[in-house]
Structure 1
Amino acid sequence: MKVTLLGTGDTTGTPTPGCDCATCQAARERGVERTRFSVHVADEASGDALLIDFSPDFRAQFLRTDALSLPDAGVVTHVHFDHLDGLGNAYRLFDDLPVYAATDTDPTTGESVAETVAGKYDYLDSIALRGVAPRRSFAAAGFDVTLVPVDHPPLLCYGVVVERAGAKLAVSGDTTYAIPEASRDAMRDPDLLVADGIVPAHLTHHHPKGGRHPDADGVPRTFGTKHMTREGALALGDDLDADRTRVVHAAHYYPVEEAFADEIAVDGETIRL
């Protein structure tokens, strides 16, 4: 299994347009980016490819990594624009693209993720929307995939477990540290965990809600109400006994001296499992 981190940033990405903070400047100087979130998973022997989330940066991501094949199927974790709005790029690129999303009804929207995606992209005849029940494995592009509920209020959101030929990838989804235990059980023992870590814990005082879910030393593992801190993402990797953890969904608010630390992913990273 070959995993390519196409997009490793938050909603504005790094560098952020119009921003001259030290982190954005350093990213430009280094020639690195963290665009909006997306993960490409491929079986190199068969050529099968699965895409987790459709970044608004879809076109640019695939053009700059043109060695990657377009996906044979896709999965949508939730309906925030930075994970979904790239699906419009399916126009004229695909004849029949299966797209999988959860069927549980979100009390906030009154629709499931599958229903929202189907309604928003009803003009795309090339998309075959397939609703799936969370916590139940299904086959997508030859991979065994499971959507697991996580904690990203006010909307329902899902982590993703992908398995094939003994290799296991877990993607946390956008979430706080309060991932339900049943979901943690499904994610446990991955070869790779791709985990949401939007900012370092010492920045939680900038959020109106502060930090939550402190560890034994009082370090917040949740930033505000929707995302993990860097420390929370790494702690989740330890909790799940992940062989390797890559921190993604990173914001440009990381101080420049921390923004390019080894554990924080940048676009284009490739990991073979």
Structure 2
Amino acid sequence: MEVTLLGTGDTTGTPTVGCDCDTCTAARERGVERTRFSVHVRNERTDESLLVDLSPDFRTQFLARDVALLDAAIITHIHFDHLDGLGNAFRLVRDLPVAAANETDPETGESVADTVRRKYDYLDALSITGQEPLEPFELCGFDVTLVPVDHPPLVCYGAVIECETGAKLSITGDTNYAIPDASRERLADPDLLIADAIAPASFCEHHPLGGDHHDSEGVPRTFGTKHMTREGALALADELGAATTRLVHVSHFFSADEAFDDPLAVDGERYRL
């Protein structure tokens, strides 16, 4: 299993358009980018490629990285920075299986699969399949499981991708720290954990809602309500027993002197599991 982090940024990416903060300035000076979230997973045994979320930066990501075009895709939730790159399937692939959860979202009255199917009904190349959360299915020769996480107000899912070699990739998806126990069990013991960590815990003081899910020392593990802090993501990684952890969905709210330090990921990182 070969994993390439195509997009490691939050909704605005880093550098953020129109921003001259120290972090965005440093990113420009270093030639470093965090585009919107997407992960490319190649099955080296079958030479198939699975894409987890389709960033609106799809074209830039595929031109910048030496990765094969996708053979199938997973959509974790319907926020534009994870979904709107799907339009790039037009004229690029003849038949693209797309997997998404079939659980109805009370907020929208549709499942993620339903929304993708409706929004992209003009793309004949797409074949949308609704999948039951927490139930494994096969895609690109991998065993894949969509796991419910907590990203209010919409339903959202992480993904567990396992190869017959025993390699395991766990992706939290967009989530706060309150991931359900059943999902934590599925995410546990990965060779590589890709975890949402939008900001340092110290930055919660600037969020209108502050932080949540504090640890025993009062450190917030959730930034506002929707995303984990760096500290929350690292606490989760410890709990899950991750062999390697990379933090994604990273914003420009990290100070310039720490924004590019491990384990904060940047675009283009590649791992072989």
Verify same fold: TM over 0.5: yes
Q: Which amino acid aligns with 1:38?
A: S
Does residue 83 of the first structure (1) align with residue 82 of the second (2)? yes
Does residue 211 of the first structure (1) align with residue 211 of the second (2)? yes
Asked if structure 1 preserves the Cα contact closer than 8 Å seen for 2:46 and 2:140, the reply is no
SS of corresponding position for 1:259: coil
Per-residue deviation at 1:46? 2.4
What is the Cα-based RMSD across aligned positions, in Å? 0.6
Extract unaligned runs of 5+ from structure 2: none
Does residue 246 of the first structure (1) align with residue 235 of the second (2)? no
What residue is the counterpart of 1:202 in the other structure? Answer: 202
Q: Percent identity?
A: 67
How high is the TM-score relative to the length of structure 2? 0.99
Does residue 8 of the first structure (1) align with residue 8 of the second (2)? yes
Query: Which whole-Å CA distance do the structure 1 matches of 2:76 and 2:182 have between them?
Result: 17
What residue is the counterpart of 2:148 in the other structure? Answer: 149
Q: Which amino acid aligns with 1:223?
A: F
What residue is the counterpart of 2:190 in the other structure? Answer: 190
SS of corresponding position for 2:27: helix
How high is the TM-score relative to the length of structure 1? 0.99
Q: How many residues align?
A: 272
What residue is the counterpart of 1:132 in the other structure? Answer: 131
Per-residue deviation at 1:270? 0.3
Query: Which whole-Å CA distance do the structure 1 matches of 2:174 and 2:63 have between them?
Result: 25
Alpha-carbon deviations, 1:60-100, whole Å to 9, x = none? Answer: 000001x2101110000000000000000000000000000
Per-residue deviation at 1:261? 1.0
Query: Which whole-Å CA distance do the structure 1 matches of 2:126 and 2:144 have between them?
Result: 19
Extract unaligned runs of 5+ from structure 1: none
Query: Which whole-Å CA distance do the structure 1 matches of 2:178 and 2:253 have between them?
Result: 23
Alpha-carbon deviations, 1:85-130, whole Å to 9, x = none? Answer: 0000000000000000000000000000000000000000000001
Query: Which whole-Å CA distance do the structure 2 matches of 1:118 and 1:146 have between them?
Result: 20
Q: Which amino acid aligns with 2:102?
A: T
Asked if structure 1 preserves the Cα contact closer than 8 Å seen for 2:175 and 2:227, the reply is yes
What residue is the counterpart of 2:110 in the other structure? Answer: 111
